[in-house]
Amino acid sequence: MSVLLFRLPLPALFDFNLCLEYMQRSTLECLHQADAAGVTRLFVLEGSPVLIRVTAPDGDSMEVRLLYGELPGAQQQEWLARYIMEWFDLDRDLAPFYTLAAADPLLGPLAERFHGLRIVGIPDLFEALSWAILGQQVNLAFAYRLKQRLTAEYGRSLEWEGHTYYCFARPEDLLDVSVEELCTLQLTRSKARTILEVAALLARGELSREALLSLPSPEAAEKELVAIRGIGPWTAQYVRMRCLRDPSSFPVGDVGLQNAVKVLTGMDKKPTPAELVQLSAGWRGWEAYATFYLWRTLY
């Protein structure tokens, strides 16, 4: 029997069903189990596994229930509430984005089609960076397989009611891992080196989400990230969007974004980054949401 931990009020312009549809886009996803009614995810709180179910049964609030594990204390529940708020971008006022989109010939139909869809974030910096690194220059299905292998090998798991739930590895879980060991999971040497470097920086406290968010601008955070070998502008922009919650992030080098624009505009070839910047002149401050909605047309 589940235990209700807390409820979170839902903002206007939020459609949980559209978020769940996005979260079900791949059967290879290993870090959550989404269905038509909600999403289940494993967390490790103070060393103990806690299985959480998130639903929105009345449309006005989100219910967070404990399916397995010890009842989290007040501080742990506060952490969970903050995580879920950031996971679904619940404290974002989307009204300005929809006003902007309504006047844009490309975004207007997408804003109607995906009305209420939020950017589904990755609040954990190590998970976000690792996912972006794994996704560099490979198709999405292979990136998911790499994430599953990395998670199964170095993360935590829980068997519950016939399903295995996973929690992503912590930076300290990879401190004694070699490049060669990661390569056995089919990571390239470059990706293996970068993930291990990021893990070491995070474990030593030389890199953190809090520190990146405390910088004067998202561009300053991007500068910190691209200083790490193996992290380029695309990876940094992706992390700005899905972890640092920067609505102005715009990964113009993303092939999926370029393909979506090509199809929707009827172009005979993919737009260049410069053409995307020109096209996005009216999206100022909401490039990340425009990108997320454009990505959504691909699957």
Annotated catalytic sites, by residue?
254
What is the spatial distance between Cα 119 and Cα 131, in angstroms, rounded to a whole number? 16
Task: Report angle CA 182, 185, 188 to the nearest 5 degrees.
Answer: 65
244-256 core/surface letters (b: 16 or more CB in 10 A; e: else): bbbbbbbbbebeb
Q: Which two tokens stand for residue 268?
A: 């005979």
Q: Quick one: which of 181, 173, 180 has its CA closest to 200?
A: 173
Residue for token digits 């009345």? 58
130-144 core/surface letters (b: 16 or more CB in 10 A; e: else): bbbbbbbeeeeeebb
- Cβ–Cβ under 8 Å, residues 260 and 297: yes
| Chain CA centroid to CA 266, Å | 29
What is the spatial distance between Cα 203 and Cα 189, in angstroms, rounded to a whole number? 21
3-state helix, strand, coil in the chain (%, to 5): 45, 15, 40
Beta bridge partner(s), residue 62? 8
Between the alpha carbon of residue 250 and those of residues 78, 146, 236, 239, the distances in Å are 31, 25, 10, 11
Q: Which two tokens stand for residue 4?
A: 């209700």
Q: What are phi and psi of 213, to 5 degrees?
A: -70, -20
At residue 97, what is the residue type?
F
